[in-house]
Amino acid sequence: MGADKQKILLKVCGITRQEDATACEQLGVDFCGFVFHPASPRYITPQQVSLIQTSGCKRVGVFTTHNVQEIADIMILAKLDYAQLHGRQEDAVVEALGGHRVIRVLFPGEAPLLSVTLGTEVAYTLFDSGYGTGKTFDWKILESVKRPFIVAGGLNAQNIPDLLKVCRPDGVDVNSGVEVAPGIKSAERIKEIKELL
């Protein structure tokens, strides 16, 4: 990585096991993500997350339909650093949690949500192709984004170099692209991506 390039953060989402969290820590991953959406094959309970150690990695909870009090309570129990809001939550939810603790998800193509998201101060805006679709989207729309942002959606070691040619995100978020099965990560695949950033 050249001296003129900023560090690109790496988030590994869908962590369900201590061994995967440990691998993330050892490989210098910046964020470990935990999915609190019951319909997800990577669902994990806040109680289970509270037992997973992630020394050196920031902890992110993925929330869909939870209200602000539920999110706040889970953040304490699961020892989270950030809440990743996927559920079209109102600005008031962001403000109640504290924008500096929020990663707000935007699905490209949803223009009304774009104006809301970019009008509210958050730690990061995360651009994703959809709820766990494992598909990419047209990254060119991100060329003019001026605030801190993370890209998700179908990313893996094969297409991340292409992403970095199109735009310069502050971070990339990988999930199925580093798995051998839903919720089971491959340390080798994580390492391969880390070396690209």
pTM of the model: 0.92
Q: For the segment 20-52, what is each residue's pLDDT rounded down to a tens digit? A: 999 999 999 999 999 999 999 999 999 999 999
Domains of the chain, by residue range, sit at: 9-194
Question: For residues 29 and 12, is the Cβ–Cβ distance under 8 A?
Answer: yes
Mean pLDDT by 10 residues, the chain (197 residues): 69 98 98 96 97 96 95 98 90 93 86 60 90 80 88 96 94 96 97 96
Look at residue 91 in the predicted model and tell me its pLDDT. Answer: 87
Q: Give Cα separations from 1 to 7, 86, 167, 175, 192 (angstroms).
A: 8, 32, 16, 23, 15
Q: What's the pLDDT score for residue 52?
A: 98
Q: Position 192: which residue type? A: E
Q: What is the reported pLDDT for 8?
A: 96
| CATH, domain range 9-194 | 3.20.20.70
- The pLDDT of residue 27: 97
Q: Please report the pLDDT score of residue 5 as a whole number.
A: 62
